[in-house]
Structure 1
Amino acid sequence: MSSLEQMAGRRAELDELAESLAKQLAEVDAEREELAVAERVLRRLSEQEAEAAGQDAGLPQ
């Protein structure tokens, strides 16, 4: 196998690896965005719960 063939083969391997890594990165980015949304929702629910608890504490029983 000539050097050019070896280099072409290696380039093809690297292209495949780059494609695989790009897909993985896209999946990671999507999951990170999902987590960010979930964090915002949880934070807002916690704030609402705290507000409700504060309002309940001010009511006579």
Structure 2
Amino acid sequence: MQSTYNLGPVAVSLAVATLASYTALDLAGRISTMASASRPPSAPGKSCRSAIRASRICSASA
């Protein structure tokens, strides 16, 4: 069975898919930028405390 494609609708479909993916990536970038701009700065020692807690938990379970 031989199939054929109408080039017009295929080209339109590819253009719409490309535009939609670009729009989604652009929107995700904007949301990420907005979220990081509105996030308050963390306390200076917060990440160190979390790392120490995690190492204690890991060493206790080993």
Deviations 1:34-59 (Å, cap 9, x if unpaired)? Answer: 001000100000000110011xx23x
Q: Which structure features the higher share of helix residues?
A: 1
Aligned-residue RMSD, C-alpha:
1.5
**Rg larger in 1 or in 2?**
1
- Corresponding residue of 1:40: 25
Q: Give the AA of the match of 2:36.
A: E
- What TM-score do you get using the length of structure 1 for normalisation? 0.56
Superposed, which structure 2 residues align to 1:1-61 within 5 Å? 18=5, 21-54=6-39, 57-58=40-41
Unaligned runs of at least 5 residues, structure 1: 1-16
Unaligned runs of at least 5 residues, structure 2: 42-62
Q: CA deviation at 1:33?
A: 0.2
Total equivalences in the alignment = 38
